[in-house]
Amino acid sequence: MDNSAPDSLPRSETAVTYESPYPLYAMSFSSSSSTTHRIAVGSFLEDYNNRIDILSFDPDSMSVKPLPSLSFDHPYPPTKLMFSPPSLRRDLLASSGDFLRLWEITDSPSSEPLSVLNNSKTSEFCAPLTSFDWNDVEPKRLGTCSIDTTCTIWDVERSVVETQLIAHDKEVHDIAWGEARVFASVSADGSVRIFDLRDKEHSTIIYESPQPDTPLLRLAWNKQDLRYMATILMDSNKVVILDIRSPTMPVAELERHQGSVNAIGWAPQSCKHICSGGDDAQALIWELPTVAGPNGIDPMSVYSAGSEINQLQWSSSLPDWIGIAFANKMQLLRV
């Protein structure tokens, strides 16, 4: 847990590193407008006992330090962590795993679980969650997706299920809100579908992976320009950019990673930039042009990390910084 800069990088002095005792996967930036920025990182231990650590980041002094009093245990690795959106006044952290859990981050005496949201009607069995997304526009709405092919929309204020939809034919891997009542999800069946809560019977497939049944692993919706979404396929080095107005045909396929892509994140302040991180240990920032060149789109800039980048977060609370996680390190890169 030191602030040592990574080695063998020319720009090492500009990246801020946190070294954790265990491998990290889940990561989230707090959105509160408080002066200190908080980062929650979830461990990845193939074990029951996992931990969520809360770090405090100071961009001016370029330092990150853990706040042990706020950290807490979590059963099994959290598959995703997310702080509540700024429109929700409170500072809550949600984690997904076996259930959806909400935590209140306080240090008096320690962070406590606020609620455990279980949508199963029979005893204890609830399909485990692969991911979730908190709606920015409607902050009491949170959507989860699960391996039982369903997506569940929660009202987290009242801790009840708003609705549950069978979203796909196979396990749903990721979900992203576009606006208050519209979300999109990706699944092992290889499709990206958009759902509108006003019309739950119908969904629109806006993309299907070219090799049938190639699972799509992650989805990111561009909050600055809702036309565009990005998704990544299993075992692929491509980031597929989709325009929701023209279904089935991707707008661009960004193919410059030398390994499979693991994480994507749109820029919070610009509508044309996206960052991706992959198994080639590179984080690439891309600028999407209006017209692509004949050889495809080249990235704008690159950062080489120490090992495969598993997670990437580009938060609107810190638009000049990109957080990446690789091995047991979390790094903040200045854009």
Partner 1 sequence: MQVTNSKNLAIQFVSSLILHKIMDEETMVMGQNITSVPENLKKQLAVSIRSIQWSYAIFWSVSASQPGVLEWGEGYYNGDIKTRKTIQASEIKADQLGLRRSEQLRELFESLSIAESSSTGTAVGSQVTRRASAAALSPEDLADTEWYYLVCMSFVFKIGEGMPGRTFANDEPIWLCNAGTADSKVFGRSLLAKSASVNTVICFPFLGGVVEIGTTEHIAEDMNVIQCVKKSFLEAPASHATISQQRSDYHIDNVLDPQHILGDEIYAPMFGNRPFQATSPSRTTNGFDPEHDQLAEDHDSFMAEGINSQVQSWQHMDDELSNCVHQSLNSSDCVSQTFAEAGARRVSCGARKGRVQRLGHFQEQHKNVKMLSFDPRNDDVHYQSVISTIFKTSHQLILGPQFRNCDKRSSFTRWKKPSSSSSFGTASVVPPSQGMLKKIIFEVPRVHQKEKLMLDSPGVGDETANHAVLEKKRREKLNERFLILRSIIPSINKSDKVSILDDTIGYLQELEKRVQELESCRESTDTETRGTTTMKRKKPYDAGERTSANCTNNEIGYGKRTHVGQAEPTETSLTDNLRISPFGNEVVIEMRCVWREGVLLEIMDVISNLNLDSHSVQSSTGDGLLCLTVSCKHKGSKIATPGMIKEALKKVAWIC
Task: Give contact residues for partner 1 (rule: CB under 8 A).
Answer: 10-11, 14-15, 23, 25, 44, 46, 60-62, 76-77, 79, 97-98, 122-125, 127-130, 146-147, 171, 173, 217-218, 234-235, 237, 255-263, 267, 269-270, 273, 279-280, 283-285, 287, 289-291, 293, 298-303, 308, 310, 320, 333-335
For 251-280, letters b (16+ CB in 10 Å) and e give: bbebebbeebbbbbbbbbeebebbbbbbbb
CA-to-CA distance for 22 and 34, rounded, in angstroms? 28
Measured distance CA(144)–CA(175) in Å, rounded: 7
Q: Least distance from C-beta 138 to partner 1, angstroms?
A: 26
Which lies closer to partner 1 via its Cβ, residue 107 or residue 169? Answer: 169
The Cα 173–Cα 186 span in angstroms is: 6
How far is the C-alpha of 293 from the C-alpha of 285, rounded, in Å? 17
- Neighbour count for residue 116 (Cβ, 10 Å): 12
Q: Which is nearer to partner 1, 182 or 228 (CB)?
A: 228
If you ran DSSP here, which 8-state letter would residue 234 be given? T
> In whole angstroms, how close is the CB of 201 to partner 1 at the nearest point?
27
As a residue count, the chain comes to 335
Report, in Å, the least distance between residue 308 CB and partner 1. 7
Name the minimum Å distance from CB 132 to partner 1: 13
N-to-C CA span, the chain: 23
Nearer to partner 1, 112 or 298 (CB): 298
CA angle 121, 164, 169 (to 5 degrees): 105
Q: What is the DSSP string of 259-296?
A: S-EEEEEE-SS-SSEEEEEETTSEEEEEE--SS--TT-
Residue number, 31 or 88, with CB nearest to partner 1: 31
Q: 102 or 252, CB closer to partner 1? A: 252
Nearest approach in angstroms of CB 40 to partner 1 is: 16
108 vs 122, beta carbon nearer partner 1: 122
CB of 7 to partner 1, least distance (A): 14
